[in-house]
Amino acid sequence: MAELENGTLLFGECKWRGGSVMRLSDLVALQAKVATLPEARWRLKPSYILFALGGFAPELQRLAAQPGERIYLVRDSDMLPQRA
């Protein structure tokens, strides 16, 4: 968990093994963990950041693209320099 300067609480999950695709069920599992946190403000309006070396399942990509969703998907190409 990280708290950003604007007060946003960001919860993350990472799958950094080759070929491991992040699925909607992984987000649901993270949301379930957040729902059990002891401090109410942490559960109020969480944002989620998901890192996946193998990419993201289509249903997760569609959900993250919905207006108002606070789900950010990060691929290796978003972080690592591309090799020539």
Residue 84 has a pLDDT of 57
CATH of domain 2-79: 3.40.1350.10
| Polymer length in residues for the chain | 84
Residue 22 has a pLDDT of 92
In the chain, where the domains are located: 2-79
Per-residue pLDDT of the chain (84 residues; tens, 9 = 90+): 888 888 888 999 998 877 788 999 999 999 999 999 888 777 778 899 999 988 899 999 999 999 889 999 998 777 666 665
3-state class of 28 per DSSP? helix
Residues linked to residue 49 through DSSP beta bridges, in sequence order: 12, 72
The answer to whether 43 and 37 have CB atoms below 8 angstroms apart is yes
3-state class of 67 per DSSP? coil
Residue 81 has a pLDDT of 66
Q: Beta strands 2-3 and 9-15: pairing type? A: antiparallel
Which amino acid, residue 28? V
